Structure 1
Amino acid sequence: MSSSVSNLEGQSLLGEMSSFEKGGFFDLGHPLLNRIVESFVKAAGIGAIQAVSREAYFTAVDGLDSNSGIPREISSSKKYRFPGLKGETNRNSLEAMVKNTGKESLQWGLAAGVYSGLTYGLQDARGAHDWKNSAVAGAITGVALALTSDDSSHEQIVQCAITGAAISTAANLLTGIF
């Protein structure tokens, strides 16, 4: 057995994950494309986990509310659930969960890919990595996220742009402090 084969067999999950951080799984021929795709895939996975875990939580909370006698209309958990999950049949609920998990994964991936690509591109174009790159990338990412919303208004788009710029600028400025 060659040493490369035995090395692959002995590699742990932790080793594989650390190599993902260093070199990545993708080689699309350009560092910008690699960064965008890797950010998209990582964040989309996180979005899917978050969406499914949120649904599991609210399903559990709804079960507790029905056991404690609190009327469903008063329960605050109902407004945060996936819109298609009403519990008519397991098939309808599963289809709604898959659809909404996919949408949320796409939104998380879009945000990460756009932000990562913009910060990398701006750094390359300007020759500097500073708060200005973060502010522009955050604002554009906020607009992209607002446009994926079901009911995006002019005010919501502006608010998301300002919020994205503020959060990414603050994160950039606080990076050296913590």
Structure 2
Amino acid sequence: MSGDLETRTLLDELRSFDKGGLFDLGHPLLNRITESFVKAAGIGAIQAVSREAYFTALEGTGADSGGLPPEITAGKKQRFPDLRGETNKKSLEALVKNTGKESLQWGLAAGMYSGVTYGLKEARGTHDWKNSAVAGAITGMALALTSEDSSHEQIVQSAITGAAISTAANLLAGIF
């Protein structure tokens, strides 16, 4: 057994993650939530950093909003106000803080969605579009509640959007 461990390469270790998952916390629900959280948080961090790099490069060229709709550029200016600080240290601190916040949001949304779909599958005994719709609606509502100025209309709209997107993904999963 120890000889097998000594001959395994890094590539063999990475391949084993696809089979068993990244975590073994003792319960499939915990494993699923944690794995979804970590994967989505990483994607959220990459998205936040790449978006900031794009806007920094755009400002460096002296270009205007680059033909982007005003709601995108306006949201960017409100989200990261400290990134135009006088020092690089202040800008880097703001980037790290905002990237962490966004990756946490992505991770919580993915973990919540994954946990709710798993729980509904176990409770109902089946996995179908109804589980996806309910999980998407709950996750959409939770995400709307994390925004600073959430209104009743925004919460309902986010729940409907989350349900629609997750149901469509579930129904289209067998096609592609």
**Fold match (TM-score > 0.5):** yes
SS at 1:85 equivalent = helix
Taking a change above 3 Å as real, the CA distance of residues 89 and 113 of structure 1, as seen in their structure-2 partners, is: same
Q: Which amino acid aligns with 2:110?
A: A
Aligned residues: 169
Aligned residue number for residue 37 of structure 1: 34
Aligned to 1:64: 61
- The alpha carbon displacement at 1:2 in A equals 4.1
Equivalent residue number for residue 4 of structure 1: 4
CA deviation after TM superposition for structure 1 residue 23, in Å: 1.0
- The residue that corresponds to 2:93 in the other structure is 95
SS in 2 for 1:41: helix
Q: Does 1:169 align with 2:167?
A: yes
Which piece of structure 1 moves more, 143-152 or 113-122? 143-152
2:5 maps to amino acid: V
Uncovered stretches (5+) of structure 1, i.e. residues with no partner: none
Alpha-carbon distance between aligned partners in 2 of 1:134 and 1:51, rounded to the nearest angstrom: 26
Partner of 1:144: 142
Q: What's the counterpart of residue 123 of structure 2? A: 125
CA RMSD of aligned residues (A): 2.1
Counterparts of residues 9-24 of structure 1 (less than 5 Å): 10-12=9-11, 15-24=12-21
CA deviation after TM superposition for structure 1 residue 7, in Å? 2.6
Deviation at 1:91, TM superposition (A): 1.4
Report the Cα distance in structure 1 between the residues aligned to 2:124 and 2:5, rounded to whole angstroms.
44
Given residue 3 of structure 1, which amino acid in structure 2 is its aligned partner? Answer: G
Q: Which amino acid aligns with 1:165?
A: A
State the Cα distance separating 1:16 from its structure 2 match.
3.2
Q: CA deviation at 1:21?
A: 2.4
CA drift of 1:111 comes to: 0.8
Counterpart in 1 of 2:132?
Answer: 134
**Distance in 2 between the 1:17 and 1:142 partners?**
33
Instruction: Supply the AA of the counterpart residue of 1:153.
Output: S
